[in-house]
């Protein structure tokens, strides 16, 4: 949560009057730094900083691969596929695609552990599909969550993965 209106009493001060004095002091210091026009672009305070809450780090992306009984490569993605982890995912999966020197086996990417995917993540999925096609490898996505399928259908990315095809308009 980002509090941008620095001329208001914080959520903490409203919810906890006993701590209001400390929060107001903090706001007074921020207002001074923001200048007379109250330019919120000078100072942005987050709720965890104001309230003294412990910071929760976003879950990073974990990637692993295994070979099933038929020789197919399965890559599991767990965590968040976003701007911070997109290149890591591309490099890892591209390496799996390129690693086979014998008959190319299909590569399957298990998305069941993926908790978040932003535009950078969608871009990586498109790049991986193109890379697999150029390498002559079959690439499939499995266990994609409905929210991811919806955005893939809206953007047309589902066309790169025929296994995701569903009835028109279905999300």
Query: Taking the model in full, what pTM does it have?
Result: 0.63
CA 125 to chain centre: 12
pLDDT (tens digit per residue) in 119-159: 999 999 999 999 999 999 999 999 999 999 999 999 999 99
pLDDT at residue 66 is higher than 60? yes
CA angle in degrees (0–180, nearest 5) for 70-73-77: 135
- Is residue 47 within 8 A of residue 3, CB to CB? The reply is yes
Q: Which of 87, 136, 141 is nearest to 114 (CA)?
A: 141
* Class of the domain covering 62-164: alpha beta
pLDDT at 109: 96
In this structure, the number of other CB atoms found within 10 A of the CB of residue 59 comes to 13
Sequence spans of domains, the chain = 2-51, 62-164
């Amino acid at each position: 949560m980002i509090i941008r209106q620095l001329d208001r009493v914080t959520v903490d001060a409203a919810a906890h009057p006993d701590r209001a004095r400390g929060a107001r002091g903090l706001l007074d210091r921020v207002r001074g730094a923001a200048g007379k026009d109250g330019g919120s672009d000078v100072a942005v305070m987050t709720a965890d900083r104001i309230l003294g809450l412990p910071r929760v780090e976003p879950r990073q992306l974990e990637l692993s691969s295994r070979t099933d009984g038929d020789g197919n490569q399965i890559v599991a993605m767990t965590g968040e596929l976003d701007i911070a982890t997109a290149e890591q995912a591309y490099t890892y999966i591209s390496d799996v695609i390129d690693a086979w020197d014998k008959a190319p086996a299909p590569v399957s990417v298990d998305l069941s552990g993926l908790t978040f995917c932003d535009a950078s993540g969608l871009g990586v999925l498109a790049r991986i599909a193109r890379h697999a096609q150029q390498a002559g490898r079959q690439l499939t996505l499995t266990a994609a969550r409905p929210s991811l399928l919806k955005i893939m259908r809206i953007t047309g990315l589902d066309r790169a993965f025929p296994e995701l095809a569903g009835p028109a308009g279905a999300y």
